[in-house]
């Protein structure tokens, strides 16, 4: 029995890279898939149905079922129509994988308002809008007495979790997604919906050029299929007890990100002239912020 037999999924940004790998792996495990992709460039420009059509064709060639969707996930009504398409085409919705995104990198002082707004819109609103409409479908199903066992997998980034320089717009949006994931997990638990996120490390057009000169072994560990395997398990009934978590993922392994924690404390004061030594002391006792280049087993 396949992990996802009889389940219906939406994967956003599924025409290339990670999204394509997610859609194919979900279908391989029995899911029927709405393949969403605008077909725009990595910077969010242009539109082309071909990438989504090619993924649907690949799924059908393996004996699966899939349909093309070219909605703009950051458009409120488009996101609603995408959710409705899954229901109308395949009769239900069980899985939402929010993967769509663009990049417009620039240092903070040089970033334009449009570069900020466009990236935050696609990533953060483009995660919230499909999640909102899917959650409302599951809420109505639950109120009607129909059992709900649904999954949401969002996409955050190491850029957000570890503050990568030159990506203020992208990091801010992805950081919002990480927190939204935790909040949504708490709000939707009563409906039978789990919500998790991944922070992937993969070689795609979004990371083109960043891996130049790396070994063949390291490049193999950046194959999107490693990440798609985790996403597929998180989308399955087996993951029912896992929610509100963020996972690092690539071929070197999977790791659970540990969220903000309460750290060292001191007495409060109404007088700002008296608190300096105490603040310095608790900062000295606190762990340093984790860095994106920290040499750990996930960053060999």
Catalytic machinery residues: 157, 170, 174
Two structure tokens written together for 186: 């708490």
Q: How many CB atoms lie within 10 A of CB 141?
A: 18
For residues 127 and 136, give the distance between their C-alpha atoms in angstroms, rounded to a whole number: 14
Bridge partners of 199, per DSSP, are 248
For residues 267 and 278, give the distance between their C-alpha atoms in angstroms, rounded to a whole number: 8
Q: Is the dihedral of CA 43, 48, 54, 59 positive or negative?
A: positive
Q: Give every CB contact of residue 164 below 8 A, 6+ residues apart in sequence.
A: 157, 158, 171, 292
3-state SS assignment for residue 244: coil
- Tell how far CA 272 is from the center of its chain: 41
Q: Which residue has the tokens 């995104």?
A: 101
Q: How many CB atoms lie within 10 A of CB 186?
A: 11
């Amino acid at each position: 029995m396949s992990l996802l037999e009889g389940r219906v999924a939406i994967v956003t940004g599924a025409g290339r890279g990670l999204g394509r790998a997610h859609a194919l792996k979900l279908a391989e495990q029995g899911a029927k898939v709405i393949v969403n992709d605008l077909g725009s460039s990595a910077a969010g420009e242009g539109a082309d149905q071909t990438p989504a059509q090619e993924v649907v064709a690949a799924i059908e060639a393996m004996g699966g079922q899939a349909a093309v969707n070219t909605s703009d996930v950051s458009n409120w009504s488009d996101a609603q129509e995408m959710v409705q398409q899954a229901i109308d085409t395949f009769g239900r919705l069980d899985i939402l994988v929010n993967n769509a995104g663009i990049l417009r990198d620039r240092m903070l002082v040089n970033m334009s308002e449009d570069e900020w707004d466009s990236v935050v819109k696609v990533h953060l609103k483009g995660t919230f809008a499909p999640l909102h409409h899917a959650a409302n479908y599951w809420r109505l199903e639950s109120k009607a007495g129909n059992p709900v066992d649904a999954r949401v997998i969002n996409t955050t980034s190491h850029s957000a979790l570890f503050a990568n320089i030159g990506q203020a717009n992208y990091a801010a949006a992805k950081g919002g997604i990480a927190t939204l994931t935790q909040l949504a997990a708490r709000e939707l638990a009563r409906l039978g919906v789990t919500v998790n996120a991944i922070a992937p490390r993969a070689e795609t057009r979004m990371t083109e050029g960043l891996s130049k000169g790396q070994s063949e072994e390291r490049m193999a560990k950046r194959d999107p299929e490693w990440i798609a395997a985790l996403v597929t398990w998180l989308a399955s009934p087996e993951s029912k007890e896992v929610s509100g978590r963020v996972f690092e993922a690539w071929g070197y392994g999977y790791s659970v990100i540990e969220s903000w924690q309460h750290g060292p404390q001191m007495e409060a004061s109404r007088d700002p002239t008296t608190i300096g030594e105490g603040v310095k002391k608790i900062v000295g006792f606190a762990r340093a912020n984790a860095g994106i280049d920290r040499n750990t087993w996930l960053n060999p």
